[in-house]
Structure 1
Amino acid sequence: MANDGIVYVIDDDEAARHSLEFLLDCAGIRVRAFTSADAFLAAAPPLGGACVVTDVRMPGRSGIELVEEMKRRGARVPVIVITGHADVPLAIQAMHAGVADFIEKPFDDEAMLDAIRKALATQQSDEAARAERQSVVDRIASLSGRERDVMEGLVRGDANKAIAFDLGISARTVEVYRANVMLKMQAKTLSELVRMVTIARFS
């Protein structure tokens, strides 16, 4: 999974930056480096399937300020913060800001790779879930008002006759709407339809 992603390394320390780039290259993970959080934000690279590894203390914006700015911009991307300071309050602040992980320098290469692979896998899984939810929402939007009424009844577990009674239409008409709903929603079974509606409402 990690091979499909990209890691953005942000660190003003050239040696540390090159060391991480080398580590990721050797692991077969795509990487692009930036010298500061401001340079990263200015470049605005694509974040699909990405993970950010940033130093916490840098000229300009800190790693935590970067996380907070990305949240303000609605950017959904896991961030791993690294620091050379054994600073517990800073670690707590980073976790509260929503970082995926917090790693102290000098870090173990395998521990860093594990954290990055986990972040990339989570990001790709989250993106797939968001894409699925959007697809379901779009399908629901394609239904007519009456088709939605019938779908609501189906999702509640009502029988065709009960839906027909509630809507003041014939059971045969409900069957027609039901067939349309299943077709437009691309649901093969009723349980699949229920799952889709649940995804749209509660994800």
Structure 2
Amino acid sequence: MHKPGHVYLVDDDAAVRDALGLLLLSHGYMVRSFESGEQFLAEVDAGSDGVAILDVRMPGLSGLDVFDQLRAVDSELIVLFLSGHGDIPMAVQAIKQGAFDFLEKPCAEQQLLDKLDDALEVVRGRSQSRQGQQAVDKRLATLTQREREVMDRVLAGKLNKQIADDLNITIRTIEVHRAKVFAKMGVRSAVDLAQMLAGKAA
């Protein structure tokens, strides 16, 4: 059974790529391997979901160079570094800049799998959050212009009478619009509605 989220393994050492690639495949991960940072950046969309395992030291673009380029385009790929002993200070600095973690070579199999599962849990959380936001957007799109006007005023804490005065329509009409807004948005109260839209904004 495949675990959701791709794993991108970037290392110039073919033996490392083969060993880690086979390990991850045997545990159900979807793995793609790359022999250089340049190849990885050329073939993988920076907007992809997943985890990139980057060797710190590679000919050409280093893992840190690749990480910098991913950051420059606001990539959501989660980065784990593979570092030799002398590279640990660099890896720690990268974590301060947003990398997920680093593993010292040679890394224990279970340590790698545990770190990878932690990183993929973040990937799944982001994906669910995006899906939730898309669902809210779809519901908002079903509202009429008048319903949006009523909703905005409800969220501002205005009473039905105040909204009726603002829009120059009857309180009864406001009650109808308000009920339709709640029905279309799938909420039971103004508080629920505010929480839903606050989550979208976050």
Contact 2:83 2:91 in 1 (8 A): no
Contact 2:56 2:81 in 1 (8 A): yes
Name the counterpart of 2:162. Answer: 162
Name the counterpart of 1:19. Answer: 19
Supply the distance in 2 between the matched residues of 1:176 and 1:146 (Cα, whole angstroms). 11
Supply the distance in 1 between the matched residues of 2:66 and 2:90 (Cα, whole angstroms). 14
Instruction: Map 1:90-169; keep pairs closer than 5 Å.
Output: 90-169=90-169
Contact 1:86 1:104 in 2 (8 A): no
Supply the distance in 2 between the matched residues of 1:165 and 1:198 (Cα, whole angstroms). 27
Match status 1:64 vs 2:97: no
Range 77-86 or range 143-152, more displaced: 143-152
| Alpha-carbon distance, 1:125 to partner | 0.9
Match status 1:189 vs 2:188: yes
Range 102-111 or range 130-139, more displaced: 130-139
Name the counterpart of 1:80. Answer: 80
AA aligned to 1:20 is L
Contact 2:82 2:104 in 1 (8 A): yes
AA aligned to 1:21 is G
| Alpha-carbon distance, 1:171 to partner | 1.1
Structure 2 unaligned spans of 5+: none
Supply the distance in 2 between the matched residues of 1:123 and 1:113 (Cα, whole angstroms). 15
What is the CA RMSD across the aligned residues, in angstroms? 2.3
Q: How many residues align?
A: 201
Supply the distance in 2 between the matched residues of 1:58 and 1:82 (Cα, whole angstroms). 11
AA aligned to 1:112 is L
Structure 1 unaligned spans of 5+: none
| SS of residue paired to 1:4 | strand
Contact 1:37 1:62 in 2 (8 A): yes
Name the counterpart of 1:3. Answer: 3
Change (3 A) 1:47 1:118: farther
Change (3 A) 1:167 1:2: farther
Match status 1:43 vs 2:65: no
Contact 2:49 2:76 in 1 (8 A): no
Deviations 1:116-141 (A, max 9, x none): 11111111111210222233234335
Supply the distance in 1 between the matched residues of 2:46 and 2:88 (Cα, whole angstroms). 32
Change (3 A) 1:49 1:86: same
Name the counterpart of 1:33. Answer: 33
